[in-house]
Amino acid sequence: AVQKTLIDVVRSTPGITLFEHHTLVDVITSRKLGLAGQRCLGLYALDKATDEVVTFRAPQTILATGGAGKVYLYTTNPDTATGDGIAAAWRAGCRVGNMEFIQFHPTGLYHPHAKSFLISEAVRGEGGKLLLPDGTRFMPEHDPRAELAPRDVVARAIDYEMKRHGLECVHLDISHQSPEFLQEHFPNILAHCANLGIDITKEPIPVVPTAHFTCGGVLTDLSGRTDLPGLYAVGEVACTGLHGANRLASNSLLECMVFARAAAQHIAQAPRVQIPALPRWDDSRVTDADESVVISHNWDELRRFMWDYVGIVRTNKRLERAAHRISLLWAEIDEFYAHFHITRDLLELRNLVQVAELIVRSAQLRRESRGLHYSRDYPQLAAPAAPTILVPPVTH
């Protein structure tokens, strides 16, 4: 309802021009153009319809690009959650914070030929039991609250059992409830599973933990301002400090509303800034890619090793392996970006690898287990609590 209302208002407001199906390429800064000072001047975006890069010139720019759930193999996020705003802001010289804190929902629908679908925690609240493929219940071994333990505990337990037994998923059984009960309480889950051939009134639901929310992001103040004058960040792309090490349910919606209003009010009161003419995107020295399979292969490889090494449970060795793989991917992606015409897939892969690097670096710096970051090498909580802040090199 919120999204529909917002979209309707945007479309009906004469002063707003809507550019749909555009992908962020990069933020344009005065430093990148060799001008004095350092501020945001606008951005480059790829028009999906024409495959051309469009230049947007603006005295004030707001990033509202969402999180980076697609960096993982399983996620509840839409396909566009590729960390575009986080990566672009980092390249523009903005600090990021708390990137190690990735919230995983314990039960996303697992299906080899369908996107992950959220299986509500209310299913466990209504008596749903988590089972291994042989029907063995495992949650009581991990926590006295069993299936009613907090989502992070449940997600870690599922991850442990999957890695221990080499499983692709576990099962969530709610079939003890009547079909009428399930239709009344979980109509969407019942229908979605039925469309995939799963009758939850008679059989368990295959589930897997899924990346759900990026608690870290581009550092902002209470007005949504980033380190770069003229650039704001609102929503999941931002790190406002509101979520700390773990997000409370629905706080992210409130964050969007509060900080969007704060950013708009600050922009309305800001003095007018003259923005110089900006150069068009220069693609005169690149050609069409001859092997796009490299992009799809690297995309799949990144999401798989991030899931295996930088997921719910982490170790120093796993993080080192991930960092090494990321460095190898960077070499191939940099070559592609420098020599071939950019595509949406290339842009999103480039941004995902950048975000993956930030997640790994942040996780390596946090030598404790806190909130959404759990390390087997540092299982205890350290004091005092402090954010993890990364500062980009000046060369960006």
Torsion on CA atoms 261, 263, 266, 267, rounded to nearest 10: -110
d(CA 147, CA 166): 21
CB 245 within 8 A of CB 214: no
How far, CA to CA in Å, does 292 sit from each of 283, 299, 330?
18, 11, 16
**Options 151, 225, 303, 318, the catalytic residue:** 151
Torsion on CA atoms 7, 8, 12, 13, rounded to nearest 10: -50
Neighbours of 133 (CB within 10 A): 13
Task: Mark residue 29 as left, alpha or beta (left: phi above 0; alpha: psi -120 to 50; beta: remaining).
Answer: beta
Q: Decide if 325 is catalytic.
A: no
Please give the sequence-ordered ranges of beta strands (E in DSSP) within 40-113, or none if there are none.
40-47, 52-57, 61-63, 96-97, 102-109
* Residue labelled with tokens 């191939």: 332
Alpha helix (H) residue ranges in 17-95:
84-91
Tokens in use for 203? 């059989």
d(CA 114, CA 261): 37
CB 148 within 8 A of CB 157: no
Catalytic residues: 151
